[in-house]
Structure formats: structure tokens, C-alpha cells
Amino acid sequence: MSPEGGDIKATDVKELRDRTGAGIMDCKAALAEAQGDVDKAIEILRVKGQASAAKRSGRATSEGIVTSYIHATGKVGVLVEVQCETDFVARSDEFKEFAREVAIHVAGTPTPPLVVSAEEIPEEAREAERQVFEAKAREEGKPDDIVPKIVEGQLSKWSKEAALLDQEHVRTDAYDGKTIEELRAEIASKTGENVRIARFARFVVGE
């Protein structure tokens, strides 16, 4: 019997994403179909044509655009640099729309991202958060044997909230709860190029 969504290991999903470049939901579906077998899930993704992003991920992204978005109030503004391989794609409406949607998300999300991907979070920042979570768990009287598990769970949640790619687009009605990474993978698949969010900056009046 195929494992239910809740039984699929997060580490397996991450490995599958790293090895194929496919979106989170596609990876989960493939793992469920493959009964948790990562290698079999890779084959399933290949058949569906979703693993081609892995080949693109190493290709140079020397073209792209910088997009700006200013909220209607005029008090929040965002700059986003999105890279691709060719000027032809950089000038396409689909690519420009993706970049704009990323900027809209960064401007409107209630939990502004700190970095593009979780891998970019400095180790000292992780350690600082770890100490805060541990102190809080002990203050609440949690048993010593489960404190590490609680801390790791909270740290994982914090990392996802801090990383732009792991966040669901703020316009959930328009994008069905897809993450920025899933939207990035979609535009990469449509254009046939490696698409990369290089950096972003968020400006708020008074902050």
C-alpha cells in the first residue's frame, strides 16, 4: 500500500527535490506512488517530464531582470532580481510576470522572508534561534528527553518561514497554495531555461 502524505519523510522529499528539481507536491505524489522508494520516484518524475529541471539547474544564468513593486499605500516597496539564461526569455511576458509575482509576494506576505533559500541562513542565526527555542521549551517545563525534538521541529518551521522559496505565494486564491519554488520550477519548465531568484530587497517606511 502506498504511504499516505503524512507518512512520507521530509528528508526523502528534500532529496527528491535536490536530485530532480521538481516541485514539492510533485515529489510527494511521486513518493506516494513509489511507496516511499526515492529511486522509483525519480523514474516516475522522469516519465512525467518533471525531472528535466535538474539538468537546467547547473546552467549559467547570465541574463534576467530587476523588477520593482510598490504597494498601493506607497509605504512598502520591493526590488527583486530574477535570472535566466537568455535575453529572449528575460524579455518574455511570462518571465516578467513571474518576477513581478515574486515582488508582490515579498511586499505582501505577513512573514517577510530573510533569505532566498534556507541554505543561505547563516549558521550563527540558526544557532541563535535554536537557543531561544530550547530556553522556551525548558521554561515551559517540557521533559528533557523531548526538548531536542521540539527544538528541531520549531527550527525547521522557522527556516521555512525565513526562506522565500519555501513560502506559499501570498495570493493563495490565484496560485492554489503553491510555493515560490514551485512557481519557479513551473516557469523554468515552460521556458526550458534555468530560472533563479538571485536576491531581493524589501523597503518599509519607518523601518
- pLDDT tens digits in sequence order for the chain, 207 residues long: 344 445 788 888 888 877 766 778 888 888 999 888 888 888 887 766 655 555 555 566 779 999 999 998 899 999 999 999 999 999 999 999 999 999 999 999 999 999 999 888 888 888 888 888 888 888 888 888 888 888 888 888 888 888 999 999 999 888 888 999 999 988 988 888 889 999 999 999 988
Give the other-Cβ count within 10 Å of 69's Cβ: 20
Q: Let me know whether 21 and 89 are in one domain.
A: no
56 domain residue, yes or no: no
Q: Let me know whether 102 and 198 are in one domain.
A: yes
Strands (E), the chain: 63-70, 76-84, 196-204
Q: Let me know whether 104 and 196 are in one domain.
A: yes
Q: Let me know whether 89 and 147 are in one domain.
A: no
Are the beta carbons of 96 and 110 closer than 8 angstroms?
no
Residue 21's SS3 state is coil
The whole-number pLDDT of residue 4 equals 46
Q: Let me know whether 14 and 74 are in one domain.
A: no
Q: The domain spanning residue 13 has which CATH number?
A: 1.10.8.10
Q: The domain spanning residue 78 has which CATH number?
A: 3.30.479.20
Q: Let me know whether 157 and 170 are in one domain.
A: no
The whole-number pLDDT of residue 56 equals 58
Q: The domain spanning residue 133 has which CATH number?
A: 1.10.286.20
Q: Let me know whether 167 and 111 are in one domain.
A: yes
Q: Let me know whether 77 and 99 are in one domain.
A: yes
What is the domain count for the chain? 3
Residue with cell 510527494: 28
* Strand pairing class (76-84; 63-70): antiparallel
Are the beta carbons of 53 and 186 closer than 8 angstroms?
no
Q: Let me know whether 110 and 131 are in one domain.
A: no
- The C-alpha atoms of residue 78 and residue 103 are separated, in whole angstroms, by 6
Strand order in the sheet with 196-204: 63-70, 76-84, 196-204
152 domain residue, yes or no: yes
Instruction: Tell me if the pTM is above 0.75.
Output: no
Instruction: Give me 71's grid cell.
Output: 504597494
The whole-number pLDDT of residue 170 equals 93
Are the beta carbons of 160 and 168 closer than 8 angstroms?
no
Domain with 37 in it: 5-51
The whole-number pLDDT of residue 193 equals 86
87 domain residue, yes or no: yes
